[in-house]
Structure 1
């Protein structure tokens, strides 16, 4: 094992090592080969592994490996196409979109754990119901409540009672969850929801076992360091913020690889190599956290990493014109490149005393900042043009995207300065503006404490200097950023949001008032927007819903709680030994869908 992989182990004070789960006495049924090892890299630290409370991408990669949702997405299909996972088939949906009947596969078992007292613990539909109830437990303060909030008959009422008593009654009947038998659930909704199948493919809706939660929960009720699921892998080692090891769950039932190719040119070759294989093939996944770009590339070039991401600063060293440079092609390096279904957007905290509020001068301040920022320059400077500017809150590859939409907020620094002059933000002798009441005006911009975050901070300093506003940078670790953001403590930040599911609803909810404390990072509450969003949830995708989305986008431009920025390319490079890898636009990780050759000893 090389020094790069060992460095996290040397920091003993940060270590939270997990013992290997004991394997079941019976012979393993998983087809995974323990000698097939994948070495992977996270570009930012994880936060923990409780599906109900984690909200960062990196923790979700592990969660998707350990836990199972009812549905998932076909590996090669583009656009993304739903398929059964723990469910036996896709849901049966009533014509009015208000009743979903879902049947579970029989014979799915949780990974062995002492809490089960040596007995095999079968997954049932009651486990899913319990897991979804956890999203509403006020003790957990889950950022994922919005997924089912206001939707299931009786669920919100049980949650309201819990807020009054301070205790969530997990045994309380929720009439909207009708258990027909151990393996069949009928969900009754308060209004039509045509996205519920996709929501039930999202990691926070994964099944956990009640006895695991009750045995290992902390004071908040979460189990962040002892995940036990029914998925293809077990978390066998965790050194917080440094290293994770996943090993194949010996009791995972497996499946036969049989995905149809899309129209992408490389799909036929993937099918030829993978069709008919029993999956998963990879027996061990070793994950290292490397926040610095150059460290990741050096580790990859030194054959210490099998797959890594090339974020913007690294891309020119490996790519030219969106393709691998000849020297990497010669080595057999593989590239999987997509435009992420994401928006990186800039928000201003609507609860902040300087930037928030709906008075004319506050709106003018936010609009001026939005017009002063050069999105294309940020893409060029920070991300080396590895992204595309966006005008609309819904990105390409997501249902509801409008490529012809033109935002009313454009790069116009002269107009921005004139707007600030008009509303009383005067420039003092020091060259910086004050508030209309003459008090100092200083804005704190927060970003990740890495090279990208530093560049973003410098870029925004230039923007604020353009309109004579003093700015200070605030660099934080990724977990600290997320925590402060959820509590509405950041003034302003560039926030990326990657699709949880490929529908515009997943992006328009970012600015919905009731989602403050969950995914509404700017803590926005605009009654007119909220009313339109609530109406849009009752509609299927189509022209009627698109009209509402357009109105909502205009409200965001007029009141300027945020400005839409860009969607980045995701460039994933893989070593020649990786077989059948293709980056999926929605699923966080794919290592249960591809293969790798065994490394030969050197």
Structure 2
């Protein structure tokens, strides 16, 4: 295998070679028309974007990576069949690697999709020196892989029970300890090299949205098979067809990630249409007609501490960064940029995130889980004792909106009139604990009904936000006489423990994978334990209604089921609704055409920057 440094040098030479071809083509004219420029990435290597992550990446395998930040990188490396219009509001699904929108049968059980021709993976030793074209066989492999028990993908829930024959293939793999990728299944019909027909077990009106989600970004079988037996190499060896690629020799895990424009990327012309707002109009005027992407190099630094990111932005070391709640007062006044920053040309893109930050108590935990009256009373008392608005004010400086419903604003299925049955009431919380035998000892702290000690371990992400969260929750538990132990851990370690139901409780944010209520109601579906059901909830009544809801088109009938499901969650107090944060993205004056998209993270292929000086 070539060394990472040698491969990177090859890519740089290859990029220069293709640019010469493109330049030569652009200078040749036939009659009054000019020859089309060769299909090479139009990005300018002198345009450098400096970005920042507030947590470390976990790696770049779309089937395995779960965190928002790693998937921002995955989005620009691995191409999904569909994506979203950059400016449209509400969000609008558009083709990406697909040639057009899918043809959907009347019963919504069959999707026929055609692929654009002439898309190629970046060079890799796995291809034995050959230029490797993307075909629909790659998408079949990618979808099958999400269900491979060996991968144990956190995204398997996207396809589970949906595609004819796929679950059966996965079950067979569990028995034989090997997933047979060569087995043809009726649900994934390869019509021809560029045409895929997907047959579903039941109607699914969200399949197009799922095929726009990062985990369905195409991977090459040769690459996965070459590196999967090497520790961490699939995560550390991304090979895709998108506009960017990781500069492997410059990647310092947990510290710095460098993305370079993929020299063989076909590029496209910026032609999005926004609304009448001054922001959209300014973006359209600056960007229309540009060949994209424009940015040749993206430098991503990992800075966990809030103040470090803020100082780096002020010093011009970062072009765009997310202004989280603790820093909001330094830049914002009532949601608007302070005059001093406006004078410097700093730009603000602010949206309410399509997210829910929920509180969960692990339903499999011996202390907090279970459906007995005593356990429900314990969880409900904590829910009653927690002042959500106070948390918003202290931890996020008011930079969030309290939620009553499991589906947030801006997502199909949201109900602004829904009122949660659990509202802040410390007196009621203490009375409930007294009634069910959680007695206070001489030290003022409660014991379990059987007299054993009662203590909660609250887990949060290392850093300023996590520290503030633990302080707020300590106040909540103190108010009802329950001991709380602070547990601050690295983000990646927290996610690992959560997937195996090892955490007792934490604030668990979920940002929309796709903008439909189904993406939020599935968070409490029993079979999703180990993937998206972080609280390890299993309520048969809820599960039955969720399965019924998946057969329905978005509308009143489905909304009625969602209401019943929300009440079931409240009665059992398996989870507690929290809030949706505002996402404030600050950009330097040199950034052109940036706007935070509600679903896409890592919008680097849609905007521009001035050349580095």
Change (3 A) 1:166 1:221: farther
Which residue is equivalent to 2:29?
A: none
Change (3 A) 1:18 1:538: farther
Deviations 1:411-463 (A, max 9, x none): 01110110111111011111000000000001100000111101101111100
2:18 equivalent among 27, 49, 52: 27
Q: Which moved more, 1:21-30 or 1:428-437?
A: 21-30
Which residue is equivalent to 1:218?
A: 229
**How far apart are the structure 2 equivalents of 1:405 and 1:82?**
28
Check conservation: 1:104, 1:183, Cα contact below 8 A. yes
Deviations 1:184-236 (A, max 9, x none): 00000000000000000000001000000011113689710000000000100
**By how many angstroms is 1:265 displaced?**
3.1
If the length of structure 1 is used for normalisation, what is the TM-score?
0.96
1:396 equivalent among 406, 409, 420: 409
**How far apart are the structure 2 equivalents of 1:265 and 1:304?**
28
1:402-417 paired onto structure 2 within 5 Å: 402-417=415-430
1:312 equivalent among 325, 328, 337: 325
1:29-68 paired onto structure 2 within 5 Å: 29-68=40-79
**How far apart are the structure 1 equivalents of 2:141 and 2:447?**
53
1:15-164 paired onto structure 2 within 5 Å: 20=8, 22-23=10-11, 24=14, 27-28=18-19, 29-164=40-175
- 2:416 counterpart SS class: coil
Check conservation: 1:32, 1:283, Cα contact below 8 A. yes
Change (3 A) 1:328 1:249: same
**How far apart are the structure 2 equivalents of 1:554 and 1:265?**
42
**By how many angstroms is 1:157 displaced?**
0.2
- 1:226 counterpart SS class: coil
Aligned length: 585
Check conservation: 1:338, 1:569, Cα contact below 8 A. yes
**Does residue 353 of structure 2 align to residue 353 of structure 1?**
no
**Does residue 306 of structure 2 align to residue 286 of structure 1?**
no
2:312 equivalent among 299, 314, 335: 299
**Does residue 269 of structure 2 align to residue 256 of structure 1?**
yes
1:468 equivalent among 474, 481, 494: 481
Change (3 A) 1:93 1:455: same
Which residue is equivalent to 1:174?
A: 185
**By how many angstroms is 1:264 displaced?**
3.4
Gaps of 5+ in 2: 20-39
**By how many angstroms is 1:126 displaced?**
0.4
**How far apart are the structure 1 equivalents of 2:8 and 2:561?**
51
1:321 equivalent among 334, 338, 344: 334
Gaps of 5+ in 1: 1-15
Change (3 A) 1:401 1:21: farther
- 1:582 counterpart SS class: coil
**How far apart are the structure 1 equivalents of 2:508 and 2:354?**
14
**How far apart are the structure 2 equivalents of 1:21 and 1:489?**
44
2:217 equivalent among 191, 206, 214: 206
Check conservation: 1:444, 1:474, Cα contact below 8 A. yes
**How far apart are the structure 1 equivalents of 2:452 and 2:175?**
42
**By how many angstroms is 1:115 displaced?**
1.8
Provide the alpha-carbon RMSD of the alignment.
1.3
Change (3 A) 1:222 1:94: farther
**Does residue 462 of structure 2 align to residue 449 of structure 1?**
yes
Check conservation: 2:89, 2:274, Cα contact below 8 A. no
**How far apart are the structure 2 equivalents of 1:239 and 1:487?**
28
Deviations 1:106-150 (A, max 9, x none): 000001112222221000000001011111111111100000110
**How far apart are the structure 2 equivalents of 1:20 and 1:30?**
17
**By how many angstroms is 1:599 displaced?**
2.2
**Does residue 245 of structure 2 align to residue 229 of structure 1?**
no
Check conservation: 2:459, 2:506, Cα contact below 8 A. yes
**How far apart are the structure 2 equivalents of 1:227 and 1:207?**
11
1:517-532 paired onto structure 2 within 5 Å: 517-532=530-545
Check conservation: 2:368, 2:504, Cα contact below 8 A. yes
Check conservation: 1:234, 1:249, Cα contact below 8 A. yes
